[in-house]
Every structure is written in C-alpha cells, then in structure tokens.
Amino acid sequence: MSIPLYACVYAAEFPVQTLLRLHPELRSVPVGVLDGKPPQQVVCSINRAARLAGAECGMTKLEAEGIPQLRLSLRSHESEAAAHRVLIECAANFSPRIEDARTGTWPEAACACVLDIAGTERLFGPPQTLAHRLREALHAAGFRASIAIGANFHATRLKAASSTGIALISAGEEAAALAKLPVGALHLEEDDARTFAIWGIRTLGELAALNEVDLVTRMGQRALQYRALARGELPHAFQPIEPKFALEEFCDFETPVDQADSLLFVAARMIDCLVARAAARALSLASLTLRMALEGGRVQESAIRPALPTADRKFLLKLLQLEIAAHPPSAAVVSLALTAQAGQSSKVQLGLFAPQTPEPSRLDVTIARLKAIAGEYRVGSPALEDTHRPGAFRMEGFSAVGASGAAKTDRPRIALRRMRPPLPVRVVLRDEKPAAFRDREKRFEIEAAYGPWKTSGCWWSEESWDAEEWDVLAEVDGATLVCLLVRDCARDQWRLEAMYD
C-alpha cells in the first residue's frame, strides 16, 4: 500500500482575492470587502496594502472609511462561488481527488482544498516541484495561495493555513512541523480555549506534550482529538468531491454600469479566463451566454454561437461587442455573468479542389454586422415550410460549414418577385375572370388570365387560408406585366401578391 500524500491549498482573504482577480489594477491599492446588511456592515477581508494602511477585519464601515485611500467594496457571494469553482478546477489539473476543506471550523473568509497527490511523482516530479507548479497555476488564475504537503490530512491543513508559501512536512515529523503553531489554529470551542489559557498551553507543541490519560480525565474525549491534531496523528477518511466542469464567470459591479465600453472591459477579462480554462482541457468555446442583471430587478440574456468552437478571445470579444450593440441593455447593469459551453477545437478539412467558402470566424462577425444593419431576423438562410401555404418560409441561421452542393436542375423556372406586404387591388371581373385591376395609381388592363388555382388549408386554426390564384398578363403604359393576383375567398378581397420575373 502506498504512503498517503496530501497537498493543501489555502487561499486566505478569499473575498478580496475574488475582487482583485477581476480587477488586477487594484492589487497595489488598499482594498477592503464589506459584509453584512447596512448599517451593520463590517470589513470581512482586506489585502496586504490595506493591512499596512491600518485596516483590520471586523472594523465597521464607518471606521474603515476613516482610513485614507482604502477602497471598500461589497461582498459578492456569487463571484466567490465562481472563483471557488475556478480554484478547484485549477487544482483538478494536478489530481482528480480533491476534498473541499472549507467546511468545519475554517474561517469564512478563506478558501481551502486538499488534494490527494499520492502516486503523482511520475507525472509532476517530487512533491516540491508539484507544489511550485500548483502555485504557479493558481497564480496564473489570479489566486495567491499557500501550499503545504504532508502525509497527514489535518497536519497539511493546519500548516497551510499558518504559512505563506510552500511548506513540506516529512513523514513522521508532523508534530515538529506543527509545534510552533498557536493553539487557536485548532479553532477550539470557547470553554476549551479558556481552559488551555488557564493551564498556560499556548502552542500545539505544548498541547502535544501533555499526557493523554490526564488530558482525557480532565477534558473528556474531545481532548483526545485536540491532542491527535496537535501531534499530526488524527486519521481522516478522504471524501473527494466531483468538481463539475462549468465555464462560468460572474462579476458584481460596485455601481451600476451603463456604458458598453465599461461592460466590454470587464467582459474581456472574463472571456480571457473562460478561454484559458477551456484551453487547459484542450477545448474551445462553442457558445457564450451573457446574462446582465439590470437595475430594477430585470435580467437581460443573450447568446453568441460561433459557427465553429473557438478559443480566439479577440473574435469572441468582437462578437460580444456586436451583440451588445445590437441589443443594448435597457437599464444600467448591476452584475454580469458569462456562461460558456465547451466544444471540441475546430478542425476544418480543406480540400485541394474544394470550392472556396467564407472563413467561419470572419463570417460570424460579418453576419453579426449584417444583423446590426438589417435586423436580427432578416439575415440568414431561407428554409421552406412543410406546408402548401403559398410563399411560406422561415429564416434559419446561415453557416458555410459543410456546404455540399445543390441538386442539378435542367430548365430555368420562372421566378416570382413577392410583394411584402401584398398590394390590395380592385379587380373588374368579366365572365368570372379578372378583366382589369387597379391599385392606388394605375389601371392595369388584363390581356389574359389563367386560373383559378384554388388553395386552402389549416382550416382548424386561426392561420387558415382559402384563396384563388390567377396568373394574369396585364398591360400598363405600353408594358406587359405577368402578375399573380390572389382573391382571399374568406374576405372577398383581391391583392397583387407577386410578379413573375
């Protein structure tokens, strides 16, 4: 049986790290995060610059506002949840067995997870190399975390929480590694902490040196657990979580944003993160859903679907820009969420003799621009409806991928030019055939009329139609026109539906 080996990742001050991850320009600025409901808001997390400026966790908002240059922001649990998913996903690149170590007595403002890294030496090298690579990966994802590696689960947890860099605990030396940590690191109950204070026990080393029987006699069975923790001997049944791969990013704005440029600035960073996370799994983004929470409680959602999955952030950002330009938010945006669907990286097999088709990514941008010009539902490919209704069609999305070639037709067919909407006309009948018709301006003399062609359908619904079609040769101003006249039998109305051209 192999020796167990754990690596604990501890990201302190997680609320402020979540904020700085999306706003890296604030890293050198004192920043604090407020938690709670007004007027009882308190500072729950601060960065190093804020600590140097004199800020402390637990300060009230009024006290914090008294510190010059300290930027205060409201805590966003959605952003933290999204950032936590990213951290877990980053750690999952090193081990599939991860246990979330946030539960229990851990401070709420920290994020921690423990990786089971036993047997990964051949993949990532010795534990120290793995720790460095893990820390670099977390750094690239925007997190500052301390890492402890050891054979005991709880020992690595305690060590990671109290160190700032990388700590390695050799097997059998857990007690020595934890000896200098304060007893408070165990997050004792209040009575127990007071008891240890009365006894003069301040460090875990002093706690570990106490006699087991005497300790249990005075404090009960829970003291046994404290002592085992302090000696790094408490066993643990590893409970791995199954990290769900979800490409989601969330950003809560301090103040509502009403400018598209500001939205795009934040969205660009979020797209960067999504692309990097997908690329880590050799994937691309197949679709991107934009969810904007607006002032007043409304939510606006739109989606971008490139023709092929892509990892080109500039291209995705351009599509997002065109989407926002086409559907601007109706009110200021309070929060922005981006959700992506992963897809296999696009591979297009080009043939030497295959006809040239538009480049998919460029075509997406072109179609988005065309939609901005002509309208959302006025650009695409027509598709015939499965109905006998004359002129029925629907618009579908256009994609040049997989163009196979049209069927061969021999003779050219006379084409119709439809009038949308049809032109109402007055028709003069002779022998039950149209003899002339007139619109608002001109009178058309009919030379020959062919018909009627009766058509009807959908009698069971409101979309029913019942019409007579006449192909007529009409003369006006010396010119001959070939028109399609339609009589709506239900309303007894005539209209000029189309012209043969």
Partner 1 sequence: MPSAALLRMQIEQALERRFPAALSPAPQALRETAPTGIAEVDKLLEGGLPIGAISEVTGPECSGRTSLALKFLGRRMQVGHVCAWVDVQDALDAESAAANGVCMKQLLWVRCSGERIGQKKDGKPWARLDQALRATDLLLQAGGFAAIVLDMGGMAAEYARRIPLATWFRFRQAAQRTQCSLVVIGQRACAQSSADVVLECKLVRANSDTETVLSGIRYEVRRERARGWGGGELEHGFQRKSESDSSAETPVPACGNLYAFTSRSGAAQKLGYADAEDAPAKTLSFAPRLSDAPESPFCESSPDRRKPPVSTWSAAGAWDREKRA
Residues that bind partner 1 in the complex, under the rule CB under 8 A: 354-359, 362-363, 366-367, 369-370, 373-375, 378-384, 390-391, 393, 395-396, 398-400, 403-409, 411-420, 448, 450-451, 453, 471, 473, 479-483, 498-501
Q: Please, are residues 348 and 307 in contact by the beta-carbon 8 Å criterion?
A: no
Q: Nearer to partner 1 by C-beta: 187 or 362?
A: 362
- In angstroms, what is the minimal distance from the CB of 286 to partner 1? 20
CB of 412 to partner 1, least distance (A): 4
The residue (of 122 and 411) whose beta carbon lies closer to partner 1 is 411
Judged by CB, which is closer to partner 1: 185, or 367? 367
Min separation Cβ 411 and partner 1, Å: 5
Q: Considering the complex, what minimum distance in angstroms separates the CB of residue 322 from partner 1?
A: 12
> Based on CB atoms, which residue is closest to partner 1, 269 or 433?
433
Least distance (Å) between residue 444 CB and partner 1:
12
CA 226, CA 106: separation in Å to the nearest integer?
15
In whole angstroms, what is the distance from residue 373 CA to residue 76 CA?
38
286 closest CA partner among 370, 343, 248 = 343
CB of 406 to partner 1, least distance (A): 3
Distance CA(355)–CA(237), nearest Å, equals 61
State in angstroms the smallest separation of the CB of 477 from partner 1. 10
Which is closer to partner 1, CB of 113 or CB of 486?
486
> Based on CB atoms, which residue is closest to partner 1, 200 or 478?
478
Count Cα atoms within 13 angstroms, Cβ side, for 356.
0
Sheet holding 71-74, edge to edge: 42-46, 31-35, 71-74
Residue 184, both tokens: 């408070």
DSSP classification of residue 470: E
Q: How far is the CB of 401 from partner 1 (least distance, A)?
A: 10
CB atoms inside a 10 Å sphere around CB 218: 11
297 in Cβ contact with 346 (< 8 Å): no
Q: Which is nearer to partner 1, 163 or 456 (CB)?
A: 456
Rounded to the nearest whole angstrom, what is the least distance from the CB of residue 311 to partner 1 in the complex?
Answer: 21
Q: By CB neighbour count within 10 A (0-12 exposed, 13-18 middle, 19+ buried), where does 314 fall?
A: exposed
Q: Which is nearer to partner 1, 168 or 260 (CB)?
A: 260
CB of 350 to partner 1, least distance (A): 12
Residue with smaller CB distance to partner 1, 2 or 377: 377
- Look at the chain and count its residues: 501
The residue (of 167 and 496) whose beta carbon lies closer to partner 1 is 496
Q: How far is the CB of 387 from partner 1 (least distance, A)?
A: 11
3-state SS, one letter per residue, for 294-327: ECCCCEEEEEECCCCCECCHHHHHHHHHHHHHHC
Distance CA 29, CA 471 (A): 78
Angle between helices 222-231 and 190-199 (to 10 degrees): 70
β-strands 479-488, 416-430 pairing: unpaired
Our CB check for partner 1 shows the closer of 137 and 476 to be 476
Please identify, using beta-carbon distances, which residue of 105 and 404 lies nearer to partner 1.
404
Least Cα distance to 371 among 319, 406, 411 occurs for: 319
Return the biggest CA–CA distance within the chain. 120
Joined together, the tokens standing for residue 201 give: 């026990």
CB of 267 to partner 1, least distance (A): 24
Rounded CA gap, 487 and 390, in Å?
13
Q: How far is the CB of 499 from partner 1 (least distance, A)?
A: 5
Sign of the alpha-carbon torsion through 84, 89, 90, 94: positive
Q: How far apart are CA 148 and CA 158, in angstroms?
A: 9
Nearer to partner 1, 409 or 461 (CB): 409
Is residue 33 within a helix (H) or strand (E), and if so which, with residue range? strand 31-35
* CA dist., res. 500 & res. 472, Å (int): 10
Measured between alpha carbons, how far is 11 from 84 in angstroms, rounded to an integer?
A: 10
Contact (Cβ atoms closer than 8 angstroms) between residue 464 and residue 387: no
The beta-strand segments (E) located in 173-282 are: 247-257
